[in-house]
Amino acid sequence: MRCKAGFRKLGPGSTIALVAPAGTFDTEQCEEGARILRAAGFTLVPGKHAFKRRGYLAGADRERLVDLTEALTNPAIEAVICIRGGYGSGRLLPLIDFQSLPAAPKLFLGHSDITFLHLGLAARAGWTTFHGPNLIGMSAGENKTQTVLDLLCGKSSFHWTLGPEQVLKPGRVEGPVFGGNLSCLTRLIGTPYMPDTAGALLLIEDCGEALYRLDRMMNHLRLASVLQRLGAILLGDFDRCGREEEIYAMLLEHVSDCSFPVVCGLPFGHGARNDVIPLGAPFLLDTNERVLAILETPFIR
């Protein structure tokens, strides 16, 4: 499945919508992220319900849906950045009118629970979206700030060099990158919001999950016949999930009879670094050349 791209580079004066489709967030972190974007010259339009609270959710489902729909369909909005993940994005999927979305995708950025929206927009609207820091993550360090600003201005190279220790299974493959948070991704198997991942380079990361739970999720991918049809597995950060060597050993057991390459230690997820990567875009993974690189820029030249 190839998703639609063709994004224009943003610059001073470009308008960015800030939406909260999932959980509640720290107001100070939100304000710091907004300050960074304003200082870079962007015009920000927060969702009118973004600061609502309903238990662990950032407002009622319909309120979060209104803000998300407005951001995705308003022609004056050039990019959409999610304020936080947490929980709640998946509740919106059956409420979204995917047919009303513009044919040309908006630049849509987020991670963690936002994985539900990344996958839904790919499966139902054919959009390329961007896995990367949420707004509150931009206040967590210079690395996350710069990767977002490079994306918005069209400066991202989407090219990563691999060390020999990152190659768990060798190989060379070309295909679209899909994925995100493993816990969220496995919840969409068997639903109409899971894109066809045959031949895909599946990016997975997680946070705060015990080894046995990660094992259960990988087993779910196998039982659902998702795992066997992949082109590669790209392992991002597994923050507070235990020892990396145990995670990698468990995962290799699940793919022992698969011929595709597996690489680890990529800078995607909940860790100190969370680079931006376009989901749905075609990539090359070559462990001999030790490179993960985009094959076709998502930006209009």
Measured in degrees and rounded to the nearest 5, phi and psi for residue 178 equal -135, 165
For the four alpha carbons of 84, 104, 296 and 287, in that order, the dihedral sign comes to positive
How many CB atoms within 10 Å of residue 203? 26
How many CB atoms within 10 Å of residue 62? 10
- For helices 244-254 and 211-223, the axis angle rounded to 10 degrees is 20
DSSP letter for each residue of 28-92 = HHHHHHHHHHHHTT-EEEE-TTTT--BTTBSS-HHHHHHHHHHHHH-TT--EEEES--SS-GGGG
Going from the C-alpha of 262 to that of each of 85, 105, 148, the distances in angstroms are 27, 30, 26
Exactly one of 89, 112, 139, 156 is catalytic; which is it? Answer: 112
Q: CA–CA separation, 133 vs 88, rounded Å?
A: 17
Q: CA–CA separation, 266 vs 275, rounded Å?
A: 9
**Is 270 marked active-site?**
yes
Q: Can you read off the two tokens belonging to residue 269? A: 């997820």
How do strand 79-82 and strand 43-46 relate by DSSP bridges? unpaired
Q: Return the amino acid letter for 203.
A: L
Task: Decide: residue 67, CB within 10 A, 0-12 exposed, 13-18 middle, 19+ buried.
Answer: buried
Active site residues: 112, 205, 270
